[in-house]
Chain A
Amino acid sequence: MPLLALCLLLLLASAAVALALAAARAPTAAQVAATAGAVAACAAGLVPAARSLAGAAPESLALPWSAPLGSVHLGLDPLSAFFLVPLLALGALAAVYGRAYLAHAKGPSSPAVAAAALNGLLASMVLVVVARGAVAFLIAWEAMTLTSYLLVVFDHHEEDVRRAGWVYLIAAHVGAACLLAFFLMLEPSSGAGGLDFEQLEQGARALGPTALSAAALLAGIGFGVKAGIVPLHVWLPEAHAAAPSHVSALMSGVLVKLGLYGLLRAGLLLQPPAAWGHALLALGVVGALLGILLALQQRDLKRVLAYSTVENVGIVLIGLGLCTWARGHGQPVAAALALTGALLHVWNHAAMKGLMFLCAGGVVHQAGTRDLEKMGGLLRRMPATGAMALLGAAALSALPPLNGFAGEFLLYLGLGKVAITAPGWTGAAAALGVGALALTGGLAALTFLRLAGVAFLGEPRSAEAARATEPSRWMTWPMMLLAGALVVGGTSPGVAARALWPAAAQLLGPEIAGAGMPPGLHPIGGAAVAVWLAVGLLWLTLRVLVRRAPKNVGTWDCGYAEPTPRMQYTARSFSEHLVSRLLPPWLRPSTHRPSLGARLFPEPARFSTESEDPVTRAAWRPLLATGAERVSRIRWMQQGQLPVYVVYILAAVVAALGWLSLRRWLWP
């Protein structure tokens, strides 16, 4: 715990130093100070996190706090440590990468302030994970939203970015409002009246079934917004695409996962009945399929990755739902498998998506575009970044010998266990879950082959792509560390699973966890090694067999002598067959076609497609438009004059006090 406090202190102090240096017009020094502080803090914080996962007893720390609702209570248990590990590891890499990434940023924002905001974001995320009381939790949660908002709107001279930031802020606050209500609902009516999690747990026991369901719904919305659970995911692709790439990596890898952390914590408080497993499972399947189906239509490199995050959160939810269901139906092995798989996937996804966003950042930084149709041939021009992006693409397609396979393997095992043993419709439902996961895997391969193939392979489709070069080594080596994690995580998945088992055991409870960790990953590691060996061996064989390879010959284009880069298959055409033939119309991007031939002479025409999120298009936009229309009737309340607002505040205080005294008078 002292080291964790040091970590928090270092983050905040370095952020303050950076801000002071930025004010003193020393931006480079400010960036370096913030980055050094972040790296040192993350190193300091990783030690207690690793110790907690290695079996150290849970620690806690209570700080005196003069505000109402008790002290600030911090604690470190395996579940917190489980989320701290990717947070601090990815945080340090993102800080190092971000310094180089933003060093020559041309926008209106100061890189030094962004570096300070990144440290603030890291500190608030650490605080979210270690908070043991609702007050500290909510304050940290809000600080996390605000600091990440500052980072998302780094390029606020672009209108899209401002819009994305606005959407993010609104979504996050809707979620925060639900969380506030959730915590207040759990407040025990009798007793000390504190909002520490222990007291909330007692409060949850006292709730009736209806109130419990309402609380679960509030928690689901509040945390689901952050986690990007469909249909609450609409802010996610906008914000991830708008933010600087290292921030996208951190958001996708960790911040979104903190929504899952909240769900798990709420699960510990509420002790959900098994029937809720069905709801989680259904949400997971819908999220996984919708996420990947939208990912494969996107033209924007970072939006592809963002929608894939929605998919992966769906996959994790499938595991959590299955675990909840299986616990209540006497299937402890399936529950343990599903939860271990889901948690392993959280770690793996943090590494994979972190790597991919950093690679995407390299491309954006060097080629100056996020548009897949303007890329191509980048593997020849940025060999290290390209190779790592291909590695990440294969991992995100859940292919062995990389780490993405291990988590999904355990999930499949858990689903399969239920599918082959459970009678009746449950078995059939689990089997269909396997089918959905398999389809998601196939579509993920399509998505990431499209991404890697169009961006990195073939010939460049624009002059900027043709001129791109490898980014600086401060940007490549954080990627290399993550790429190494993918390889190691693939060849020794058992190590990662053992490391996170204490967190899984804490969630499963002693009666299931007592049986020990479910076996199953050992052969996967062996198989990964076998794949590397077999590929290496055949690679050498091919090198020996290939003789006399003439240089400088072009691609055989079926007899056409002058192929141009424009003849290559584009990102749009790559997924055309699936999108325009197999998807229902409401899932396709909306197309504005020019009207030709209506008049005698052709008029200027415009063709454009817009990939607005179908959930926004079909649900949120009409809903919010109607809501805005209704609300406009009380617009007269906004007068824009300070005295009027003072009157409002006074009226609110008087009303609240009046209600309190009235209540005491009516029900003494």
Chain B
Amino acid sequence: MNSAVHLAAALFLSPLMLGVITRVKARFAGRRGAPLLQPYLDLVKLFRKGSIFSRTTTWVFRMGPVVGLATAALASLLVPMGGRAPFSFEGDVLLFAYLLGLGRFFTVAAAMDTGSAFEGMGAAREVTYSALAEPALFLSLLVLARFSASLSLSAMLGPGLGARWGTSGASLVLVVAALFVVLLAENSRIPVDDPTTHLELTMIHEVMVLDHGGPALGMVLLGAAAKLFVLGALVAHVAVPLGEGDPLLGWAWFLGAQLAIAVAVGVVESVMARLRLVHVPSLLVAACLLSAFAVVLVAR
């Protein structure tokens, strides 16, 4: 039951986060903006369209969207959403990170399968930046693991975290900052990548899926939204810890926190420009250093 709810949330509520981000950006720009439910309409449209597959491509090209969506959906079963996750075991945090890695692997392989120069470019950037983001993610999670003396996400993000803000606030601030940078980088958001740019040369994620169309592109969009949702859940639990309470309250709190994260992403996208590509690694290395400092602070 709980797993069905988690899956449904990751698949059906996640496009709303995209809608909120777009709306926030529009408001900042002084526009009314698209309807909040626009991503849903886009998805429905895409799933009803026909498809075009380049003659260069193979099964790998279709595997990209499929694996991307499947892994994001499975990752949603490991991350707590307001309560305990449906599946939790010692080390599930590793499975969580590597599932997202599997999704990325096939998204990148699909991009390279087209033989296009632009998609190869996006693929190379994606793997380079995600390799640099990986230590930041793991070290941040280790800080949380040290607090809870457990390597399971449900325990790490559990109710005990609230008390830690009082005792080890400094390291938690660092962790939230590092995780937020990882969230932006993994989901190809400003300042790492601009999802709305119109210049293929500067894109990362969007250029990798240039050749996908119709239902396959729908799966890509949904997978990306679900990934934003599960990584957002991670940040939400650390930034706004939840006490013990009844599940409904937990869900309400969780969805509120997710909305806040979407707004925060929208604000970041509105107030700053995309970094030059050569400067992106500095940001990611900074995130790694922040989380390493946090580790040293708590292990001291």
Contacts and interface: CB of A to CB of B under 8 A. Distances in A.
A454 B112 contact: yes
Given A538-B219, A567-B117, A581-B281, A441 B101 contact: yes
Contact of B112 (A398, A449, A547): A449
Contacts of B55: 551-554
A535 B70 contact: yes
Interface in A414-464: 416-417, 419-425, 427-428, 431-432, 434-439, 441-443, 445-446, 449-450, 452-454, 457-459
Interface stretch (B13-21, B33-41, B259-267, B291-299): B291-299
Interface string B97-120: 111011011001100111111111
Contacts, number: 262
Contact of B299 (A405, A416, A431, A577): A431
A394 interface: yes
B174 interface: no
Contacts of A417: 151
Interface string B7-32: 00000000000000000000000000
Interface of A is mostly: helix
A405 B91 CA distance: 12
A413 B91 contact: yes
Given A431-B142, A457-B60, A582-B281, A534 B116 contact: no
B56 A459 contact: yes
B149 interface: yes
Contacts of B123: 449, 453, 569, 574
Contacts of B105: 394, 397, 399, 445, 449
Interface in A528-544: 530-531, 534-535, 537-539, 542
A575 B66 CA distance: 26
Nearest to B139: A435
Contact of A459 (B66, B115, B278): B115
B127 interface: yes
Contacts of B116: 555-558, 563, 567-568
B94 interface: yes
A575 to B, nearest CB: 7
Contact of B102 (A412, A436, A450, A531): A531
Contacts of B114: 458, 555
Nearest to A578: B128
Contacts of A453: 108-109, 112-113, 120, 123
A405 B98 contact: yes
Contacts of B54: 553-556
A656 to B, nearest CB: 57
A545 B66 CA distance: 12
Interface core residue of B87, B116, B145 (most chain A CB under 10 Å): B116
A417 B60 CA distance: 37
B67 interface: yes
Nearest to A411: B94
Nearest to B219: A542
A567 B118 CA distance: 9
A419 B142 contact: yes
Interface residues of B, number: 84
B240 to A, nearest CB: 23
A554 B108 CA distance: 19
A558 B127 CA distance: 22
B98 A400 contact: yes
Contacts of A558: 116, 118, 200, 210
Nearest to B99: A400
Interface of B is mostly: helix
A432 B292 contact: yes
Interface string A570-588: 0001111110011000000
A449 B89 contact: no
B132 interface: yes
A409 B94 contact: yes
A56 interface: no
Contact of A446 (B91, B131, B151): B131
B99 A520 contact: no
B50 interface: yes
B235 interface: no
Given A379-B60, A442-B132, A446-B127, A458 B113 contact: yes
A379 to B, nearest CB: 5
A420 B288 contact: no
A666 B295 CA distance: 62
A465 interface: no
B195 interface: no
B145 A445 contact: no
Given A400-B98, A420-B146, A546 B51 contact: yes
Given A435-B138, A582-B281, A457 B58 contact: yes
Contacts of B132: 439, 442
Given A377-B56, A546-B51, A432 B295 contact: yes
Interface core residue of A425, A427, A458, A527 (most chain B CB under 10 Å): A458
Contacts of B92: 523
B149 A421 contact: yes
Nearest to A292: B131
A302 B103 CA distance: 26
B109 A449 contact: yes
A409 to B, nearest CB: 6
Contacts of B202: none
Given A400-B99, A442-B127, A556-B54, 11 more contacts: A380-B58, A400-B95, A413-B90, A421-B149, A435-B292, A438-B97, A439-B132, A445-B127, A457-B113, A458-B115, A520-B89
24 contacts: A397-B101, A399-B98, A405-B98, A417-B151, A428-B296, A431-B292, A431-B295, A431-B299, A435-B139, A436-B135, A438-B135, A445-B101, A445-B105, A453-B109, A453-B112, A523-B95, A530-B74, A531-B71, A535-B70, A546-B50, A558-B118, A568-B117, A573-B124, A577-B278
Top 9 nearest A-B pairs (CB, nearest first) are A569-B120, A442-B131, A453-B112, A458-B115, A545-B215, A442-B134, A534-B70, A438-B138, A427-B299
